[in-house]
Amino acid sequence: MAQEQRGKVYEGVLQQLKSYIEEHRLKPGDKLPSERELSEQLNVGRSSIREAFRAMELLGLIETRRGEGTYMRAYRPYHMVELLSNFLLNESRTKSELMIAKQMIEKEVLLLLNGRLASQEDMSALKTIISGHSYTQRHQKVFEYLFSLCDQPLLLSMWQFISGFTHTFHEVSYSDDWYEEMVTAMEEESTMNIIRLFQ
């Protein structure tokens, strides 16, 4: 499906979900229909429902309980959802800006940890994470670990929020060489080499 068409479908799903919530006067704790049911009701693909659910979950509007379904978490004005859906799926510049913001936060956490990853235990754990996960999981696991060492919960929340949205339109993969260079830069405590990772 072309990106423009995909964006229109996605926006339409968000609008229809908004209408559904308002019409049924759903409140926190109320259950939403399943992806399959909504797909049939709204006559759209399940992938579009899934993307809309993911956006709503990232914004704290709903929560998915494994094996139980999707529930309202809070009902807030949907202006932010609409704004993000419009920009994320239709504006290539915004997509680029989100990627830049994500990389800026990643660079910042590495710089904050520069000189503080001296223990062999920390470096060993980092290398184990890098070698022990698939391409799709590795980056997430590596930076979750780095954020835990850095003790920067706000930066972590911002990074998770942006990462969640960037994954809806672009799967980022980093080569083995990139991770090797990152580890070397951290071991050598080289600020310049950390910065070069993101150029």
For the chain, domain boundaries: 3-84, 92-196
Structure tokens at 18: 């908004």
Residue 192's pLDDT is 92
Strand intervals (E) in 32-148: 62-65, 69-72
The dotted CATH code for 3-84 is 1.10.10.10
This prediction has a pTM of 0.56
Give the pLDDT confidence of 120-173 residue by residue, as tens digits: 788 888 898 888 887 778 888 888 889 888 877 778 878 887 777 666 555 667
Whole-angstrom CA distances from 79 to 84, 131, 135, 157 are 9, 42, 35, 21
The dihedral of CA 157, 160, 164, 167: what is its sign?
positive
Structure tokens at 86: 């419009």
Give the pLDDT confidence of 43-72 residue by residue, as tens digits: 888 888 888 888 777 767 788 888 898 998
